[in-house]
Chains A and B, each alone.
Chain A
Amino acid sequence: MTNTLHRFGPSPSFNDDYIVFAICCRGKNEKDALPRLKKFLHMAIPFQPVNLGDARNGGCLRPSKELSPLNHWNRDMTPDLERVANGLDAPTTVAAVFDNRKAAVAFIKSVKEADLGLSINVSTSIDNAEACCDEVGIPRHSVGYSLGFEGKTEKLPNTQTLTLSTMCGHGMVSHSLAKKMIDWVKEGRRTPEQAVTYMARFCSCGVFNPARARRVLEDARHSMK
């Protein structure tokens, strides 16, 4: 899941971005992994993740297949964490996203105690991950560094847009939608909360961080003053 690795931003911008994900290894521990993956998701809920998801069905905010016209004025924007945990139907990568270290550390501690046997990864800044491991009392096993975007970077949008769109590493949150949401928030046509839910619905594995996105949108709005 390099989809969480290459988020755009300097280290401090990840202080509200902790993705803890579980994955099984093909040929080594995927048999009977489904109940353990489900347990991982259920265990995350009491720690109040800002998103929860699996790579097959998406996150806690999902598009509707049959929307009523009245929903344009009265749309349910409530994240449904239970649906994610209950809806996992086959082994895949599952993730819980937290907006603070305290919750992430507490969750990792409980996962360690549960001894699920799954590979657990933390995707955030290098410093944050090290701090999490120190607090939990486990040494890092392996690390995958992101070296940032290179090549024809002139094809990329501005930094605020990029910060939003790269929160879905699969690229399902387009630059254009992210830019449109920034503009709509600046114009007062939508609140940051509303704009965030529109974008989150496009992320197909539930790793989009609504809390961080809200902060980026608030920053964009305030930079107008």
Chain B
Amino acid sequence: MRINPDKCVACGNCTYVCPMGAIYIDPAIKRATIDRDECVECYACFNGLSKESLNPTMVRTIRKLFQMMRVRFEPEPDVCPTSAFEPDKLEWPRVVRRAFSDPRVPHESTGIEGRGTEEVKTNDVSGRVKEGEVGFTIEFGRPGVGARFHEIERMSMRLAKIGVDFEKKNPVTTLMSDIPSGKIREDILNEKVMSAILELKTTVDRTEEIVRVVKEVEREIDTVVVLGVGVRCDSNGDEKVVAPILEKLGYELHRAKTNIGLGKITNPDLVQVQTQEPAGAAT
């Protein structure tokens, strides 16, 4: 992303809306400027700000007059009055920033807008996490801090050492140069993203071990981490296996997303297979 200096009137609105705090008014040129190393190409400025097409010279003159009279010029806070934001053509490896930061860009590996996979959200159809299993999402950089891939790699390599299987269709896994060791490709290690998610699945008995490793690595990296733990409920809709383990580890469980099990396989080719095979074979 870039800000056109001919259009920018330094109103400052964009400095607040940048989730990474990467936009500032450069006193030397008196224009809003993007710190390219901190910018994660999330496009919150370009997509989120409403756009006006006022004449920049006129706006600057009005602002100067107001300033002289000590009158506050207060435009709507979610507007770029001169449509000064212009997207750059992103090339490798910078394009990785946008893929992990702009939620409207679907990942080629998952086909889903956003940074994760379907996790347990489609578990009623995919059967991805079965009873006795636990799916972990380990998210870095969220909320509003950002993360660099070398921090994520520190976690992935440590987890790989204890023999976990990373979700193959996860966007971070696709950027690993060596999945068994958790090594992420060298050329993106310093790229900063809004957030990225490591995903893995294991058996319930390893829950405590995984959480302890994650907590250990959290102390070594310079960002925030949030864990999501996905599990299959029993036939009564109860989940009395993993929650007690998490509570024993000191977690107070407040919030969850709950799949209520209304999904069905409806793709014609699979429905056909289902009618030919024993019930449940397709999932």
Tell me whether A64 and B50 are in contact in the complex, defined as CB-CB below 8 angstroms, given that A71-B76, A172-B19 are known contacts.
Answer: yes
B217's nearest neighbour on chain A, judged by CB, is A151
B272 close to chain A: CB less than 8 A: no
Q: Is the CB of B233 within 8 A of A142?
A: yes
Interface check B42, CB cutoff 8 A: yes
A28 at the binding interface (Cβ < 8 Å) = yes
- Asked whether A143 lies within 8 Å of B239 as measured between CB atoms, the reply is yes
Contact between chains at A119 and B125 (CB < 8 Å): yes
Whether B163 sits at the interface, judged by CB under 8 Å, is no
B228 to A150, Cβ gap below 8 A? no
Q: Which of A115, A116, A139 has the most CB of B within 10 A?
A: A139
Per the bound structure, the CA–CA distance linking A4 and B121 in Å amounts to: 12
* B251 nearest CB across to chain A (Å): 5
**Given A29-B265, A56-B104, A150-B218, also A141-B145 (CB < 8 A):** no
A40 to B47, CA, bound (A): 26
Within 8 A of B (CB), among A151-175: 151-153, 155-157, 162, 165-166, 169-175
Contact assessment for B76 and A75 in the assembled complex, using a CB-CB cutoff below 8 Å: yes
The chain B residue sitting closest to A124, CB to CB, is B255
Contact (A23, B255) CB under 8 Å given A141-B124, A151-B218, A202-B17:
no
Among A25, A140, A176, A189, the residue within 8 A (CB) of B258 is: A140
Q: Which residues of A contact B49 (CB under 8 A)?
A: 63
> Is there contact, CB below 8 Å, between B143 and A171?
yes
Contact B253 A72 (CB under 8 A): no
CB neighbours (8 Å) of B9 from chain A are none
Q: Are A121 and B221 in contact (CB under 8 A)?
A: no
Stretch from B31-39, B86-94, B112-120, B180-188 at the A interface: B112-120
Please tell me which one of the listed residues A115, A121, A145, A176 contacts residue B16 in the complex, with CB atoms under 8 A apart. Answer: A176
Among A55, A65, A155, A157, point to the contact of B223 (Cβ < 8 A): A155
Q: A205: CB under 8 A from chain B?
A: yes
Is B143 a contact of A184 with CB atoms below 8 Å? no
In which size bucket is the chain B interface? 35 or more
Which of A72, A122, A138, A156 interacts with B76 by CB under 8 Å?
A: A72
Interface residues of B in 6-29 (CB under 8 A from A): 15-19, 21
Measured between beta carbons, the chain B residues less than 8 angstroms from A117 are 262-264, 266
**B119 pairs with A144, CB closer than 8 A:** yes
Inside 8 A of B276's CB, which chain A residues have their CB?
none
Chain A residues positioned under 8 Å from B265 (CB to CB): 28-29
CB distance from B242 to the nearest CB of A (A): 8
Residue among A10, A30, A65, A144 having the largest count of chain B Cβ atoms under 10 Å:
A144
CA distance A155 to B129 in the complex (A): 33
Which one of A65, A151, A176 has the greatest number of beta carbons of chain B within 10 Å?
A151
B65 within 8 A of A: no
Give 1 or 0 for each of B106-135: 1 = CB within 8 Å of chain A CB. 000011111110111111111001000001
Q: What are the residues of chain B within 8 A of A175 when measuring CB–CB?
A: 19, 143-144
Q: Which residues in A have their C-beta under 8 angstroms from that of B218? A: 150-151
Cβ contacts under 8 Å, B267 to chain A: 27-31
Does A209 count as interface, using CB distance less than 8 angstroms? no
Q: Is the CB–CB distance between A7 and B259 below 8 Å?
A: no
Evaluate contact between B254 and A126: CB separation under 8 angstroms. Answer: yes
Q: In whole angstroms, how far apart are the Cα atoms of A169 and B139 in the complex?
A: 11
Query: Across the two chains, which residue of chain B brings its CB closest to A175?
Result: B144
Q: Is the CB of A116 within 8 A of B225?
A: no
- Name the interface residues of B189-239: CB closer than 8 Å to any CB of A: 194-195, 197, 211, 215, 218-219, 221-233, 235-239
- The closest CB in chain B to the CB of A92 belongs to B113
User: Which residues of B lie under 8 Å from residue A157 when comparing CB positions?
Assistant: 144
Q: Knowing that A6-B143, A169-B143 are A-B contacts, what are 15 other residue pairs whose CB atoms are under 8 Å apart, sorted by A's residue number?
A: A2-B115, A2-B137, A3-B103, A5-B228, A11-B255, A29-B265, A29-B267, A55-B104, A55-B113, A144-B258, A152-B221, A175-B144, A204-B103, A205-B113, A205-B114
CB-defined A-B contacts under 8 Å, sample of 16: A25-B263, A28-B126, A28-B266, A29-B263, A71-B76, A125-B254, A126-B258, A141-B237, A143-B233, A143-B239, A143-B256, A156-B145, A174-B144, A180-B16, A184-B77, A204-B104
